């Protein structure tokens, strides 16, 4: 029985259609694993060993159903390349992670003494804590694991729609343990392995932009008017953690699995709570500038746009285990949690 009312306005009809992934019966959790390397941007070393290792894992028993690839230069001027892999069961992920093909390389002492740093941020997400939103019926991310979409849905295009799409929000306010990010840790991982556990109800968003099918005039408008605001917003949350509650933000280029550039980008950010993410989205000038410039683009082009937008949001149960090997101390969640 619903305990908390929806945020949807009475009689709401969305101005544009949107869809959510239709997760099939029998699936009880989504597993999303981020596995990456890092190295100083001015280094001429290449992570061939890492890519060869992960490529072999994509063909192993219990391999992920779907994998994507990203690249970002972080605020400390380190190159980070990473894979995003998806499973529809914890058992399958656990078997893949426990296999010798994984452990022999990842757990080797060579990783600690390597020229590269490595990080793993795997998330086991009960379905009630996971939601997706797509501007079209083009699959990406977790949606690729399932046959269909549901929709068009009504729970979107109003403030609070993201929370309404999370089933658990019917009975849980998804509050965290603390109100602000105020105490910064300094965990040195050079030459070490560090494991940390995530706090209660950490919120993660991956929000993507796909201009593959956009025509030249649309790309030109987007690059001139929308993209600069997007970059300013992503820079702001990555450099103002105390104000926004954003623990980590990586605005990334999406690559093909073999490493070629695409016309896709995505933001990937951790917020202390869903409320912190909602507050930045709803009230902060940097996000409102993104939102308004995109609406202006849609209106200027008469609603005829081909850009495809989508996101997936998770609110994690407490105690997900992330691992950082030989990384700089501002990597991922290292500055905030022990």
pLDDT at 265 over 90: yes
Task: Give residue 107's pLDDT.
Answer: 98
Task: Give residue 117's pLDDT.
Answer: 98
Task: Give residue 150's pLDDT.
Answer: 96
Asked if residue 142 lies in contact with residue 312, where contact means CB atoms within 8 angstroms, the answer is yes
pLDDT, average across residues 303-312: 96
Q: How confident is the model at residue 179 (pLDDT cuts 50, 70, 90)?
A: low
What phi and psi values does residue 332 have, to the nearest 5 degrees?
50, -125
Task: Give residue 166's pLDDT.
Answer: 98
Q: How far is CA 103 from CA 39, 201, 258, 321, 327, in A?
A: 22, 29, 23, 16, 19
Residue 108 CB neighbour total at 10 angstroms: 11
Asked if residue 149 lies in contact with residue 21, where contact means CB atoms within 8 angstroms, the answer is yes
- List the one residue out of 78, 301, 273 whose CA is nearest residue 172: 273
What percent of the chain shows pLDDT beyond 70?
Answer: 97
Residue 244 CB neighbour total at 10 angstroms: 24
Q: How confident is the model at residue 184 (pLDDT cuts 50, 70, 90)?
A: low
pLDDT at 186 over 80: no
pLDDT in tens, 100-154: 999 999 999 999 999 999 999 999 999 999 999 999 999 999 999 999 999 999 9
- List the one residue out of 43, 38, 145 whose CA is nearest residue 87: 145
DSSP state of 9: P
pTM score, whole prediction = 0.96
Peptide bond into 95 cis (omega under 30): no
Alpha-carbon Rg for the chain in angstroms:
20
Mean model confidence pLDDT for the chain: 95
């Amino acid at each position: 029985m619903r305990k908390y009312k929806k945020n949807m306005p009475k009689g709401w009809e969305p101005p544009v259609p949107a869809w959510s992934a239709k997760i099939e019966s029998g699936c009880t959790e989504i597993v999303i694993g981020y596995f990456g390397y890092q190295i100083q941007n001015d280094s001429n070393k290449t992570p061939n060993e890492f890519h060869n290792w992960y490529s072999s894992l994509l063909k192993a028993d219990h391999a992920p159903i779907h994998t994507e690839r990203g690249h970002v230069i972080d605020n400390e001027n380190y190159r980070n390349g990473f894979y995003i892999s998806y499973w529809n069961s914890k058992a399958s992920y656990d078997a893949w992670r426990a296999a010798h093909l994984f452990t022999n390389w990842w757990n080797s002492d060579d990783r600690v003494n390597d020229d590269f740093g490595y990080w793993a941020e795997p998330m086991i997400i009960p379905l009630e804590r996971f939601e997706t939103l797509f501007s079209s019926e083009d699959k990406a991310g977790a949606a690729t694991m399932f046959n269909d979409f549901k929709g068009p849905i009504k729970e979107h295009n109003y403030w609070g729609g993201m929370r309404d799409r999370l089933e658990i929000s019917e009975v849980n306010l998804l509050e965290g343990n603390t109100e602000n990010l105020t105490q910064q840790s300094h965990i040195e991982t050079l030459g070490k392995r560090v494991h940390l556990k995530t706090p209660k109800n950490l919120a993660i968003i991956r929000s993507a932009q796909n201009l593959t099918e956009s025509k030249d005039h649309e790309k030109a408008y987007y690059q001139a008017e929308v993209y600069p605001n997007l970059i300013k917003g992503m820079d702001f949350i990555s450099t103002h953690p105390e104000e926004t509650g954003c623990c980590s933000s990586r605005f990334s280029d999406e690559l093909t699995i073999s490493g070629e550039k695409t016309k896709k980008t995505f933001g990937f950010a951790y917020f202390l709570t869903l409320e912190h993410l909602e507050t930045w989205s709803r009230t902060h000038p940097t996000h409102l500038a993104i939102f308004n410039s995109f609406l202006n683009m849609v209106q200027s082009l008469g609603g005829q746009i081909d850009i495809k937008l989508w996101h997936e949001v998770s609110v994690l149960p407490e105690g997900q285990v992330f691992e950082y090997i030989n990384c700089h101390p501002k990597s991922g969640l290292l500055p905030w949690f022990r």
